[in-house]
Amino acid sequence: MDEGDRSIKRSLAAQDPIVRELLQEDVEHGVLIPLKTTLELRDDYQTGHVLITRTPTKAANPAILMLRSLLPDEIIKGVPHLRRCAKPSDLPAHLKAQFMNESPQSRQIHTGKSNWIYIIVGPENMLNRDEVISALSSVEGMEGEVFLRRIPVPMVSPTSQVQAAMWSQHFWPSLYRKNNPLGPHPSMIARQTDEIADDAAIWMTLAHKVAKESHDAGYGEPMGACVIQRDEGKTTLVALAGDSRWCHQEKTGCTGNPMAHSAMRAISIVAQKLVRAENRKTQTRQKPILEFEAFQDSPIAGDEMKVFELEHPNPDGYLCHGLEMYLTHEPCVMCSMAILHSRMGKVVFRHRMPLTGGLCAEDRGRDHPSLKGADGGRGLGLFWRRELNWSMVAWEWESSGCLKPLRVDRAVHA
């Protein structure tokens, strides 16, 4: 056993009595790979066109004030990564060459210490060229022919200092403002990866264990989910759930009970524990009489029951707010949306489901190695979408070889 394995065994999570009881297999570290968002994969950068002008340095402020009457300042603030003003020496090489060769005056402007400055007027599609030229012509020092040119620029902010430097060389002087408009900030991903890395293998092992237990009993596919709470360095096991789509019904068709996917059951079990705590406070114990329990939110396997009997560590919280879910397989679109609506904080899964998964953003075209000619369509990347009212960080977990793969049909919804 190497030092990494020993650190898992010595971790606080592994010392929890219920975890020690459930954890019968050897546990080895895996690799956490953060998922990319749809924007990060498809919109490395989007370019638009802006109009630029140039003025003597002494006329720069009057020119900018004049331009504000044509275009609200908020429009310019919409591209804060682009410098509003740039010296001739700061322009990309291709723009310098283009402007220098236009006229003898232009060559003089770009030679030596220049007393001229370039200014971004605004997005081309929001401006009338004639109005801009007329307005600038009235500025003292800009009489005569007004310089107005159209250039392409990135319309989203750079996601790193390196990218900002590249854009400054290829487009226009750009700034990196230490954010990521296309997804979670890299520093946040790094911090949260470090936070879960030491014991992620424990929770993934438990998810595999309950998956095999449920599958061996004939309840469902070999898929499992483990939910934990992490609070101030302490981790608490909240729920274990295997897949039970074939439970209480014949194995007909290819889908089974969709409400009994492992992720759906795990969320429902968390909800049951919260209801149980609330009933104890109010001294009410109402149990609905159902002909068929669609959500299968009662524990059915031995390990599920052991965890279900434990009290919820935060019975006053909102469902799964801030909790972590570890899954053997990438959840389907239905389960991905359920995870989002439950306000889960983090999700880690092991096996991608290229045909049915909802978290990954990669295109699932015919060239995907696991599709073998089938067309999987475009990845949805539901863990981080601007149009949804919740987002979270998600990872793919690669085993170091200790956990055997849990094979399922590629068309199965996890």
Quick one: fold of 3-40+185-399?
Cytidine Deaminase; domain 2 (3.40.140)
How crowded is the C-beta side of 298, counted as CA atoms within 13 Å? 9
Phi, psi torsion values for 63, nearest 5 degrees? -65, -45
Tell me which residue of 123, 174, 176 sits closest to 151, measured CA to CA. 123
Residue 286 makes CB contacts below 8 A (sequence gap 6+) with 279
Please tell me the distance from the alpha carbon of residue 215 to that of residue 413, in angstroms, as a whole number: 15
Give the whole-angstrom CA distance, residue 182 versus residue 44. 9
Whose structure tokens read 């999570």? 13
Per-residue confidence (pLDDT) for residue 145, from 0 to 100 = 84
Poorest-confidence range of 116-120, 146-150, 312-316? 312-316
Distances in Å between the alpha carbon of 138 and those of 123, 135, 209, 355? 21, 6, 77, 62
Residues 350, 329: Cα–Cα separation, whole Å: 6
How high is the pLDDT of residue 90? 94
Mean pLDDT of all residues in 111-129: 89
375-407 burial, b at 16+ Cβ within 10 Å, e below that, comes to: ebeebbbbbbbeeeebebbbbbbebeeebeebe
Judge whether 406 and 387 are in contact, CB under 8 Å.
no
**Which is higher by pLDDT, 126 or 26?**
126
* Residues whose CB falls within 8 Å of the CB of residue 124, separated by 6 or more in sequence, listed in order: 48, 49, 50, 51, 150
How far lies 388's CA from each of 341, 384, 391, in Å? 10, 8, 7
Check whether 16 has a pLDDT greater than 50: yes
Q: Can you give the pLDDT at residue 2? A: 55
How high is the pLDDT of residue 106? 87
- The closest alpha carbon to 398, from 15, 39, 35, belongs to 35
Residues 377, 364: Cα–Cα separation, whole Å: 5
More confident: 354 or 9: 354
Q: Percentage of the chain surpassing pLDDT 70? A: 85
Q: Sort residue 259 into left (φ over 0), alpha (ψ -120 to 50) or beta.
A: alpha
pLDDT > 70? residue 377: no
Cα torsion angle, 21, 27, 33, 35, sign? negative
What DSSP string runs through 380-413? --TTS-TTSS---EEEEEE--SSSPP----TT--
pLDDT bucket at 9, cuts 50 / 70 / 90 = low
pLDDT(362) > 80? yes
Q: Assess contact for 226 and 325: CB atoms under 8 A.
A: yes
Over range 96-122, report the average pLDDT.
Answer: 89
Give the residue with greater pLDDT, 291 vs 137.
137
Better-scored residue on pLDDT, 399 or 374: 399
Alpha carbons within 13 A on the beta-carbon side of 412: 20
Is 76's pLDDT higher than 80? no
Q: What is the mean pLDDT of residues 83-103?
A: 93
pLDDT band at residue 4 using 50, 70 and 90 as cut-offs: low
Proportion of the chain above pLDDT 90, given as a percent: 49
Per mean pLDDT, which range of 15-24, 94-103, 331-340 is the poorest? 15-24
The pTM (predicted TM-score) of the whole model is 0.73
At 203-254, the pLDDT tens digits run 999 999 999 999 999 999 999 999 999 988 789 999 999 999 888 766 655 6
Burial class, 255, CB count within 10 angstroms (exposed 0-12 / middle 13-18 / buried 19+): exposed
Q: Tell me the per-residue pLDDT of 150-207, one tens digit each, with 9 for 90 and over.
A: 999 998 888 788 889 999 999 999 998 877 778 888 888 999 999 999 899 999 999 9
Mean pLDDT of the residues in the chain: 85
pLDDT of 325 higher than 90: yes
At 1, is the pLDDT very low, low, confident or very high (cuts 50, 70, 90)?
very low
